[in-house]
Structure formats: structure tokens, C-alpha cells
Amino acid sequence: MKTLTGAQMMCEALLAEGVDVMFGYPGGAIMPFYHALPEYPELRHILVRHEQAAGHAAEGYARTSGKVGVCVATSGPGATNLVTAIADAMMDSVPIVAITGQVVTSLIGKDGFQETDVTGITQPITKHNYLVTDVRDLPRVFKEAFHIARTGRPGPVLIDVAKDVQNARGVFEYPESVDLPGYKPNYDGNRRQIKEAANLLNQAKKPLIMAGHGILLGHASVELREFAEKTGIPVITTLLGISCIPEDHPLSLGMPGMHGWVHVNRAIQECDVLFTIGARFDDRVTGKLDTFARNAKIIHVDIDPAEVGKNVITAVPIVGDAKRVLENLTEIVNANEHSEWLNHIRDIQATRSKRQRDPESGMFTPHHVYAEFTRIMQGEFRVCTDVGQHQMWAAQLIEYMKPHTHITSGGLGTMGFALPAAMGVQVACPNEEVWAIAGDGGFQMNLQELATVVQESLPLKICIINNGYLGMVRQWQELFHERRYSATPMWSPDFIKLADAYGIPGVRVERAEDVAEAIQQARSTNGPFLIEFVVEREVNVYPMVAPGASISDMFEDPSEVEIEDVVAVK
Amino acid sequence: MFAMKHTLVALLRDQPGVLNRSVSLFRRRGFNIESLTVGHTETPGISRMTLVVDGDTTSVEQVIKQLYKLIDVLKVSDVSQDPNVTRDLLLVKVYAPPAKRSELMQLADIFGAKIVDVVPDAMMIELSGSPEQLDRFVDLIRPFGIRELVRTGCVAMTRGASTVSGPYQNQEFRAA
Ligand SMILES: Cc1ncc(C[n+]2csc(CCOP(=O)(O)OP(=O)(O)O)c2C)c(N)n1
């Protein structure tokens, strides 16, 4: 029988799992793996400039492709640099496998050079993790890791492999199946509960569907649409649920929550049944919990039993896979129309949309940029956003038509996410137009990845919304901290020159009239392109629910903000 | 009876870090754990953890569901509502000059405790029983002067022929 080194086994395992690309950064403790890599040309390795970016790129890849993303780092600082991305993947249930090198077994626990207890560090932020100290465990561990990452509620799994294990030799037999008696995800919702949900939905006068990331992760967009169309129930999409239903669909209402739309939050407060699938009632969605959806019976579908009943009291809990549960429900639920209810919500929307969507006169605001985006692109793009005001505007103002076209860091809110995640998205979709949209702050958190973009010839389009501030924090300071702009005004380098230094062409846009042309120029450029939009400095994201307030209390422009009230609930 | 305290029994695969994972989970989620014991079971490779949680400050259902999310947790049962035997083990070293000794020995006798060590002015007593029994015993001997005291925390087993180790997966709380 043929024997392999541990490092070769790792490569074989990756191949067996259908991996064709990984994002990583070498170092002492992972060198045997990198030594083996050239023997496996099917495994494309993308060298990032910082391990955090490797993690986010793996996430971007996973979030778009539906496959498991893989990132690799050495021990110690390499591994700790992955931590933020792993936490991000955990919060957003993204299937990634992080492979790290570890010091040799005899040094573990002795504070060896570049030793960190990365399995200890990542225990609370991984779905599961492993430290491999025996080469015989490698095949089983890889098999289990990929299985755990991609099944049930997806999530990050870390495999820490001691360097001597990578060098050791052993017989490679990849297991066909896993034996994890403590891990049996439940895919089929309980029949009785599904029936109960159908009854509740049949009787509802003002039902509402809240669709979350679970729809996208469970590839249930089609099923969601069929269900909504049969029942005539309007759909709201959480930040991570965006793009699970085409936004021009007559039943699609938009986003709820802190920066959601007034008509959407109003619908939540008025609805009698809130049918939530694959969303976890994050505080950014619910606002003050005890006033949230107070007239509604809640049906909650989630693959993770621990989510059901965690934050809100549910009338009907269903533990199962979004796709299967929706299929079963669609079969038994009555066809219906809720035109009166829908019209009522649309009426609320109509009285407000103008004020919310129109940029204030004479100013060059991000609203112009996003409006042009939507107009020019006609839904044919994928967008990765960073974190901050531009992220909320991108969620509010751009129209997404196809699943997995809006990729963002929702749960952790990780600045620096957009550029590396977009690299992963572009790798997953080499022939599509991928845009990274970041603020001037967040862009500077991982801008070193411009080099990776060039080295790998990724044709991605980068858009910086430069308002000269850490905008979202400045907004909070303006509203809740007496306008004390502490540490939020931000100097930036000349982004166009910077891009130029990396060999990336770009333009700066300072007037609304020039937006369309710049976008067109980016699109027609073969290869990466950067646009810096220098926008009005102090524009705020509205509507808004103050942190800790009820979603019934939204304000739509600064004149409505009563600072004392806001400070009181903070 | 209002079960303020809940006794949970969890079966775990003996994998590296499994205890740390559980404890870290309680800390992270802010669960208030009163006592926790772990030891071997009748099946090699499987450990049994007994947990007592304060059901007033911690949602027992969430503890169970979160525990199930750990890959190496096979089964979790809340045995508080079932007739069960719960035992805690106590070792206590009491100040016991010769004049007090017989009184102490009488007390020990009433509680079914054992004297496991005697020196001229101290005595070590061992007692196992329900946590409440142990509390009462400690209250009674406190006036003598306690020099050192240690308790193991609870272990529990339901009465009757059925066992918690039955089928590992509990339908309601399957892992995801
Ligand atoms: C890593 C990290 N550090 C800090 C924050 C806190 N934070 C949230 S939004 C924000 C401001 C973002 O500013 P910028 O990137 O310029 O985007 P803008 O809000 O102006 O669109 C900050 C600092 C964060 N989310 N992530």
C-alpha cells in the first residue's frame, strides 16, 4: 500500500472534498504542506497579503458558491490573524475550513517558537475544531471537518496540524463516511408542527414572511418564492437574506430593523403571523425585544434547534432545512391572496419612499452612486460591502435580483471585509462582474489585498465611498454623543495614486453627473478598476431605530431625533 | 415542587478538549452553573457529566440546546422531574479536641457519615448524600470549627430500570 506524508494526505483530502482553490499564507509550521502543494496542480493556492484576508476570501468564496471555502495559515501569528475571519464566519454561518500549522508535537505546551493554542482560542468561534497530533487521524479529521462545516447549520471548522504530523508518513485511506453519533442535523421539520404552521398561516389576516440567511445557505430561494406566490404573503429580507427574492418581485418589501424601511418595520408591528425562516432575531432586527412583533404569533423555521426560542417566544417552532420545510408547507397550505394587507403596506411605503430615497438637493451623496449602480447594472453583478453607512445604503438602495449577489458581514460587522471577500467571490465567479464597496475607513483595513488582486489577475471593481469620516460612528456621535466627533475624522491617502502604485487604474468622482461615466469606465476596463466617490461628508443613514429602542419608533430625518429620548434608551 | 435548580445529565465522547468546550460554552453564554462533575461510564470512551444549573437565572432549555451543538455531546437529559438519586460527597476536617470527640461521632453516626482520620485535635469525616443532607450536616458541625471542607458536586441517576444512556439522540434537541 502506498504511504504518503501527512502533508500529501492533507492535499489528497482536499481533492477528495472537491476543493479546487484555497487562500493562504505560508510560514514555518505549515511548510511541509506548502512543500507538497506543487505536486497537486489541481489545487489552486492564492497568496494573500494578510491571513485575515485569506479567511474573508474563503468566506466570500463560500458565500457565493455554496461550497466550503478553505484558508491556510501558519502557527502563531498566522493562525491568530485568521481569528477575525473565523468569528465572522461563525456569526454568519458560513462554511469554511481553516487549516493551520502547529509547532511540532514535542514543543506543544512548551511555548515553542510561534506556538499559540489556536484550538483553545477558536473554540467559542468555530462550529468545531481539531488539533492533529497523529498522522493516522488526518484523513478522518479532514472528512469530519468538511462534513461538519457544510451540513446542518453551516459554520467554520479549524484543523490545526502539528508540523511533525505533516512530515510523518502513513497509509492514506480516505473514509467514505463519518461516524459522529453526537452530530445528526435534523432536516425534515416535524410534520405535526408543519401542519400547525399551515393552519396558522391559513387563518392569518396579516401574515408576513421574514427570510434570512438560511434561505440562501439552504438554497431555498425558489421554494421561498413558490411559497410566497401561492399564499400571497409578502416577504421581508434581513440584511443577510437580501437577494433571496428578486427585489422587484411584487411581494418583496425590503429590509427590517435598525436601518430597515418604515413600511417593513410597521408591517412587523402590525402583522398577526410572522413566519420567520433562517433568521435568528438579531438585536439589529428586533430592536427592543419586548415590543417586537407584539401582535404576531411567530412561526420560526431554523436548522439549528438552539435558535428556536433563543430570543423570541415562538408559537410554532420548526427545526429543519428551509428548502424541505418550505416544500412541505407549500404543498399543504391554502392558496390565498392578501391584497388588502399588501396594499396597506404599500400605501405606507408610498408616502415615504420619496423622502428616503431622494438625496438631499444639490449634494453629492452615496444615494446618487447607488441609484446609478442599479440603473446601469440591471441586476447583473455581485456586490460585497464593508461595514458602515455605505453598507446600509448598499442594502437599502441597490436592487438585487439573483441569489448570492449581496455579500456582507452581517453578524460580526467586520470592517475590512469587502475587498478580501470580493476576491473570494470573484474566484468563485470568474466571469461575472464583482464589486467591492467600502468606506474610506474599512478600505484601509485590508487595502494590502490590492496586491493579491493584481497578482491573481482578478478583474474586480472597487468602489470607495469616501466621506472623510468613520461615517457610521460619526453618525452615532452626531445623534447620541452631542456631536463630539472623537476619533472619526479620517485622513486618507490619494486612493487613485495608491491604486496606481499597485498597477490598478482608477478615477475619482466628485460630482453626481460623473457617476455613470465612471461606472461605465470600470465596467469596460478589462481587469481591476477603482473608483473613489468623494461624497458629502455628513450624510446620515435613515430611517433609523435608535439602539435599544422599539422598531415602532423610527425616525426618518434629523429633525425627528429627540436626543434626550434617544440617550435615555441607549 | 418548584424546581429552581435543575439537574442535567450529559453523555460526552472522550475527545480532547470536550470538558473545556462545555465549560467554555457556559461561560460564553453566561449560564450560571452551580456544580459540575465528570467521570467515566459503563461504556469505554463515554464520559458522563452531571450539571446543576440555577433555573431561575439560566434558561435550562437553552443550556440543553447549546450543549447539543457541541459535536462530542451525545445526549443531554434534564432529570430534575424524574424520581432520581442525587449524591454529593463531602470530606470535612473538624477541630475535635478529645472532649468534643464523642459528640461529633454521635452526629456523624446519625447522618451515616464515616470517620476516616483522627489525630489528637482533629477529625476527618466523610459523608455522601443529597446536597441538602450535606448542607444540614455542615450546619450542625460548624460550631465545632471547620478547618477544611471539600465537596465533589452532584452526581445523579434516575430511579427504575430505564437509563439516560438509552438511544443517544433525543429527538427534540438534535444537534445542528
Ligand atoms: C474591525 C472593526 N473595527 C471597528 C468597527 C466599528 N465601526 C463600525 S462602522 C465604522 C465606521 C466605518 O467607516 P467607513 O469605513 O469610512 O464607512 P462609512 O460608515 O463612512 O460608510 C466603525 C469604525 C467595526 N465595525 N469593525
Give pLDDT tens digits for A460-505.
Answer: 999 999 999 999 999 999 999 999 999 999 999 999 999 999 999 9
Residue tagged 478547618 (cell numbers): B147
E strands present in A83-156: 96-102, 128-132
* A432 CB-contact burial (10 Å; exposed 0-12 / middle 13-18 / buried 19+): middle
User: Hey, is the C-beta of B72 within 8 angstroms of any chain A C-beta?
Assistant: yes
CB contact under 8 A, B176 and A182: no
Q: Residues A500-548: pLDDT tens digits?
A: 999 999 999 999 999 999 999 999 999 999 999 999 999 999 999 999 9
Do residues A209 and A277 make contact, with C-beta atoms less than 8 angstroms apart? yes
pLDDT of A559 reads: 67
- Residue B3, CA distances (Å) to B56, B81, B133 in order: 9, 8, 17
Separation in Å, CA of B56 to nearest CA in chain A = 16
Regarding the beta carbon of A441 and ligand 1, being less than 6 Å apart is answered: yes
* Dihedral Cα B115, B117, B122, B127, nearest 10 deg: -40
Pocket mutation for ligand 1, best pick of A84, A88, A472, A533 (most atoms within 8 Å of C-beta): A472
What pLDDT score does B116 carry? Answer: 97
pTM, to two decimals: 0.95
Q: Is the CB of A366 under 6 A from ligand 1?
A: no
Residue A384, Ramachandran bin (φ over 0: left; ψ between -120 and 50: alpha; else beta): beta
Alpha helical stretches, state H, B58-97: 60-69
Minimum distance, in Å, between the CA of residue B170 and any CA atom of chain A: 10
Say which residues have a Cβ less than 8 Å from residue A354's Cβ, sequence separation at least 6: none
Helix A138-150 to helix A6-16 angle (10° resolution) is: 30
**Which letter does DSSP use for residue A257 in this model?**
S
Residue contact A181–B70, C-beta within 8 A: no
Residue range A165-193: mean pLDDT, rounded: 96
Q: Which atom of ligand 1 is least distant from the CA of A413?
A: 25
- Cell 470549627 -> residue: B145
Residue A284 has pLDDT above 60, yes or no: yes
Give yes or no for residue A470 CB within 6 A of ligand 1.
yes
Q: Copy the grid coordinates of residue A49.
A: 497579503
Instruction: Give me A247's grid cell.
Output: 427585489
pLDDT band at A560 (very low <50, low <70, confident <90, very high): low
Q: Is A350 exposed, middle or buried (0-12, 13-18, 19+ CB in 10 A)?
A: exposed
Q: Which among A263, A470, A456, A423 has a CA at the least distance from the CA of A354?
A: A263
Residue B165 touches partner A, C-beta closer than 8 Å: no
Evaluate if residue A198 carries a pLDDT over 90.
yes
- Which residues of A are annotated as catalytic? 51, 113-114, 163, 472
A315-357 pLDDT, tens digit per residue, is 999 999 999 999 999 999 999 999 999 999 999 998 875 555 5
pLDDT tens track of chain B, all 176 residues?
455 789 999 999 998 888 999 988 988 888 888 899 999 999 999 999 999 998 877 788 999 999 999 999 999 999 998 899 999 999 999 999 999 999 999 999 999 999 999 999 999 999 999 999 999 999 999 999 999 999 999 999 999 988 887 655 443 444 44
A562: CB partners within 8 A, 6+ apart: none
Q: Looking at residue B64, what is its pLDDT?
A: 93
Say which of A148, A180, A306 has its CB closest to residue B65.
A306
Provide the grid cell at B109.
Answer: 453516626
Ligand 1 atom nearest residue A391's Cα? 21
Q: What is the pLDDT of residue A358?
A: 57
Tell me how far apart the alpha carbons of residues A320 and A308 are, in angstroms, rounded to a whole number: 11
Instruction: Measure the CA–CA gap between B127 and B89, rounded to whole angstroms.
Output: 6
Residue type, A520: Q
User: In terms of DSSP bridges, do strands A554-555 and A544-545 run parallel, antiparallel, or are they unpaired?
Assistant: antiparallel
pLDDT of residue B15: 87
CA atoms within 13 A on the CB side of A491: 1
Q: Is A468 in the pocket of ligand 1 (CB under 6 A)?
A: no
**Is A477 touching ligand 1 by the criterion CB < 6 Å?**
no
Helical (H) or strand (E) element with A401: none
Neighboring chain B residues of A303 at a CB cutoff of 8 Å? 176
In three-state secondary structure terms, A392 is helix
Q: Nearest residue of B to residue A320 by CA position?
A: B176
Contacts of B66 in chain A (CB under 8 A): 306
For residue B175, give the nearest of A124, A131, A182 by CB distance.
Answer: A182
Q: What separation in angstroms does the CA of A318 have from each of A123, A181, A306, A512, B70?
A: 28, 22, 11, 48, 20
User: Where is A394: in which H helix or E strand?
Assistant: helix A389-397
SS (H, E, C) A449-503: HHHHHHHCCCCCEEEEEECCECHHHHHHHHHHCCCCCCCCECCCCCHHHHHHHCC
Give residue A192's pLDDT: 97
Cα–Cα distance measured from residue A394 to residue A384, given in angstroms and rounded to the nearest whole number:
9
Do A71 and A22 contact (CB within 8 A), yes or no? yes
State how far the Cα of A435 lies from the Cα of A444, in Å rounded to an integer: 17
**Residues A352-372, mean pLDDT to the nearest whole number:** 76
- Shortest Cα–Cα distance, B164 to chain A (Å): 15
Kindly state whether A319 is in contact with chain B, defined as any CB-CB distance less than 8 angstroms.
yes
Nearest 5 degrees, angle CA A133-CA A134-CA A139? Answer: 110
